[in-house]
C-alpha cells in the first residue's frame, strides 16, 4: 500500500506540475489585443446614373423627333433627387433640365408620380453664342456643324434670363415629362416630344443624387464634366460616362459591438434561427447596439461598444475613410464576435460566423487582416429594399438570421469594411 500511495503521490504531483505549467504558459500568452475597423468604401458622389440614346420604338441611337420619346428607369430612396439633361436640338447650346436642386422623388415618404413637366426648364449652357434657332422640325441650328459656333465663355442660365433676342416656345409646348413609380424603389421617366414641337431632343443623361447641383449650378460656368458636349452636340454619353464614374452604393458603418466568449457559444445570433430578441434587431435596423450590449453584459460576458471614430470627439458612424479602434484582454480559449449595421440597409449587419473566431490557434495569437472572416448577414427582421434606397416601409419580415442572400446587388463585405487585429 505504501508503494501504491507513493506512485499516486508522484502522479498527482506530476499532474499538478503539468497544470501549473499550462496555466503559466496561458498566463504568458494572455495579453491585450487591438482591433481596427475601417470603412474602405468608395466615396461616390451620386447614387445611380445612366443615359438613354435610343428613342422608344427605334433600333438605333439618335434624337427623338416630334411624336417620339425617350424612356429610362432607375432606383431611388426617400432622400433622393433626379436630374437629367437633353439638348434642345435646334440650338447652339440650349438644353432641357430641372433646376440644380433636381426633382424630389418622394413626398413625406410617398413616391411622386405624374406630370413633372413644370419642373423642367430650358437652359443656356453659356458655352456657345446663341444664333437664330431653326424654325421647324429637324432644321437644325444656324451653324455649319458641331462646335463651329463662337465660344461664349458665359454661365449656365435659364433661357428666360438670357434675353438674346430670340423667341423660344414654352417647355410644355415642346415636351411632356411623366414620372411613374413601378414599385420596389424603381421609377420610370418618359420624355415625349410633342407632335407639334419645334425641335427634336438629344439622347438623355440622368443621375439620381442627394446633394444639390450634380450637373450644373445656375449662374456659374459649366463644370467641364460633359454638359457642354450634350448642350452643343447632343453627346449624352460623354456626360453619362463622368456620372457613372462617380455613381454607386455608399454606406456608413454603424458603431461596433464586440464580445468575448467560449468555443461553441453563439452570444449574438444562431445562423438560420430567429433573432434572440435581446437587441440584434435594434442593432441591425437602427445601428444602435445599446440593448444588445446591456443583455450580454447582464449575462456576464466581456463585452464593449466602440462608437467614436478616430480623431472625432463625438459618437457617430464611420463614413468612407473613417475608422474605429478598440482594445481588450484575451487569452487562449477566447473567441471574438462583432456586430455592426450596414448603415444604408434595412436590417443587414457585419459579423463573423455565429460562433465568432478564436483569438489563438494553438499558441499563436490571431494577428493581421481578418476581413476575410467578416460577412454580411440579414437579421430577418425587416424586408430588404434595393441597396441604399431605404424608405419608410419598415415591413416586418419574421425570418431567420442568415447570410445575405436576397439577390439584390449588395457590395461584398470587403468592399465596405476592413478589420485588422494585433496582439500588443
Q: Averaged over 223-233, what is the pLDDT?
A: 97
* Predicted local distance difference test score (pLDDT) of residue 27: 52
Evaluate whether 341 touches 284 at the Cβ level (below 8 Å). yes
What is the tally of helices (H) and strands (E) in the chain?
Answer: 7, 26
Say how far apart CA 424 and CA 31 lie, in whole Å.
Answer: 7
Using alpha carbons, select from 144, 118, 149 the residue that is nearest to residue 231.
Answer: 149
CB atoms within 10 A of CB 182: 12
Q: Are the C-beta atoms of 115 and 178 separated by less than 8 Å? A: yes
The pLDDT-based confidence of 16 (bands split at 50, 70, 90) is very low
Query: Quick check: helix, strand or coil at residue 303?
Result: strand
pLDDT tens for residues 146-157?
555 677 779 999
The mean pLDDT value for 20-26 works out to 46
- Rounded to an integer, the average pLDDT of 253-281 is 98
Q: How sure is the predictor about 123, in pLDDT bands with cuts at 50, 70 and 90?
A: very high
Average pLDDT over residues 75-99: 96
Residue 46 in this model has a pLDDT that exceeds 90:
yes
Name the percent of the chain lying above pLDDT 70: 89
DSSP secondary-structure letter at 396? Answer: B
Locate CATH 2.60.40.2130 in the chain: 31-43+250-423
Alpha helices in 249-289 (DSSP H): 280-286
Per-residue b or e along 249-260, where b marks 16 or more CB atoms closer than 10 Å to that residue's CB: bbbbbbbbbbbb
Question: Who wins on pLDDT, 135 or 84?
Answer: 84
The sign of the torsion formed by the CA atoms of 13, 17, 23, 26 equals negative
pLDDT for position 404: 97
The reported pLDDT for the residue numbered 397 is 84
Average pLDDT, the chain: 90
Mean pLDDT value of segment 120-133: 94
Residue-level pLDDT at 12:
35
pLDDT by residue (tens digit) across 192-211? 999 999 999 999 999 999 99
Return d(Cα 379, Cα 363) in angstroms, integer.
Answer: 34
The topology under which CATH files domain 31-43+250-423 is: Immunoglobulin-like (2.60.40)
Amino acid at each position: 500500500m505504501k508503494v501504491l500511495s507513493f506512485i499516486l503521490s508522484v502522479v498527482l504531483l506530476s499532474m499538478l506540475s503539468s497544470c501549473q505549467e499550462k496555466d503559466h504558459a496561458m498566463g504568458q500568452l494572455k495579453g491585450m489585443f487591438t482591433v481596427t475597423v475601417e470603412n474602405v468604401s468608395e466615396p461616390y458622389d451620386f447614387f445611380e446614373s445612366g443615359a438613354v440614346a435610343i428613342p422608344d420604338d427605334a433600333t438605333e441611337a439618335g434624337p427623338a423627333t416630334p411624336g417620339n420619346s425617350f424612356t429610362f428607369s432607375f432606383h431611388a430612396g426617400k432622400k433622393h433627387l433626379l436630374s437629367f439633361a437633353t439638348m434642345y436640338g435646334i440650338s447652339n447650346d440650349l438644353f432641357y433640365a430641372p433646376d440644380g436642386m433636381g426633382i424630389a422623388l418622394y413626398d413625406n415618404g410617398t413616391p411622386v408620380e405624374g406630370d413633372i413637366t413644370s419642373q423642367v426648364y430650358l437652359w443656356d449652357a453659356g458655352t456657345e453664342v446663341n444664333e437664330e434657332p431653326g424654325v421647324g422640325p429637324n432644321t437644325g441650328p444656324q451653324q455649319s456643324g458641331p462646335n463651329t459656333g463662337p465660344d461664349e465663355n458665359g454661365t449656365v442660365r435659364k433661357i428666360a434670363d438670357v434675353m438674346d433676342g430670340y423667341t423660344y416656345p414654352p417647355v410644355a409646348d415642346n415636351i411632356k415629362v411623366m414620372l411613374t413609380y413601378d414599385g420596389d424603389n424603381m421609377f420610370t421617366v418618359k420624355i415625349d416630344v410633342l407632335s407639334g414641337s419645334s425641335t427634336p431632343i438629344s439622347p438623355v443623361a440622368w443621375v439620381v443624387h442627394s446633394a444639390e447641383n450634380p450637373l450644373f449650378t445656375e449662374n456659374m460656368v459649366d463644370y467641364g464634366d460633359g454638359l457642354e458636349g450634350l448642350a452643343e452636340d447632343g453627346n449624352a454619353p460623354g456626360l453619362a460616362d463622368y456620372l457613372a464614374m462617380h455613381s454607386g452604393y455608399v454606406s456608413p458603418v454603424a458603431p461596433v459591438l464586440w464580445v468575448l466568449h467560449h468555443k461553441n457559444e453563439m452570444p449574438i445570433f444562431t445562423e438560420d434561427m430567429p433573432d434572440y430578441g435581446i437587441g440584434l434587431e435594434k442593432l441591425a435596423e437602427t445601428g444602435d447596439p445599446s440593448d444588445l450590449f446591456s443583455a450580454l453584459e447582464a449575462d456576464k460576458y466581456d463585452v464593449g461598444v466602440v462608437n467614436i471614430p478616430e480623431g472625432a470627439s463625438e459618437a457617430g458612424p464611420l463614413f468612407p475613410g473613417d475608422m474605429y479602434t478598440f482594445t481588450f484582454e484575451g487569452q487562449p480559449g477566447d473567441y471574438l464576435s462583432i456586430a455592426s449595421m450596414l448603415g444604408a440597409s434595412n436590417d443587414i449587419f457585419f459579423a463573423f460566423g455565429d460562433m465568432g473566431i478564436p483569438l489563438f490557434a494553438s499558441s499563436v495569437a490571431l494577428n493581421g487582416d481578418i476581413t476575410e472572416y467578416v460577412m454580411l448577414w440579414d437579421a430577418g427582421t425587416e424586408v430588404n429594399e434595393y441597396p441604399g434606397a431605404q424608405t419608410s416601409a419598415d415591413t416586418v419580415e419574421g425570418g431567420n438570421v442568415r447570410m445575405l442572400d436576397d439577390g439584390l446587388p449588395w457590395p461584398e463585405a470587403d468592399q465596405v469594411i476592413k478589420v485588422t487585429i494585433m496582439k500588443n
